Amino acid sequence: AFGEAVVPRVTLVTRKTYGGAYIAMNSRALGANRVFAWPGAEVAVMGASAAVGILHRKKLAAAQPGEREALHAQLAEEHARLAGGVARAMELGVVDEMIDPAHTRSSIAQALAAVPPARGAHGNIPL
């Protein structure tokens, strides 16, 4: 039902959004008119720490027990920089613009003002 809404829809990612939860919470794919993110927000399939545990399982297992935690932290930082930042989300088209938190109100107001008139009544989707 939410996917059929004809009202203007604007999303603001303030911190972290992962996987299917991002898609379901008014993502671009679900029909958001604009998606903004604050600097430092994360948009990814999963958190960097969890992803590293899966992607680098063998490398972490082969590391010396005393070095494992430092290696995990290093790999997680690298993964977050490459895959989870706002810049990468913008490259993929899932975030339209990174905005300064101080400009949030004006950015959202401009986005709402720019939305074209509603496309009419929604369909009768099977629920």
- Model pLDDT for residues 66-110, shown as the tens digit of each residue: 888 899 999 988 888 887 788 889 999 999 999 999 999 999 999
Residue 53 located in a structural domain: yes
Q: How far apart are CA 115 and CA 33, in angstroms?
A: 7
pLDDT at 1 exceeding the cut of 70: no
- The reply to whether 21 and 31 lie within a common domain is yes
Residue 124 located in a structural domain: no
Please, what is the Cα angle at 48 between 44 and 54, to 5 degrees? 105
Residue 50 CA, chain-centre distance (Å), reads: 16
CB 12 within 8 A of CB 41: no
Confidence grade of residue 39 (pLDDT, cut at 50, 70, 90): very high
Confidence grade of residue 122 (pLDDT, cut at 50, 70, 90): low
State the pLDDT at residue 95: 95
pLDDT at 44 exceeding the cut of 90: no
Nearest Cα to 55, choosing from 88, 89, 78, 31?
78
Residue-number span of the structural domain to which 50 is assigned: 46-84
State the pLDDT at residue 121: 66
- The reply to whether 58 and 73 lie within a common domain is yes
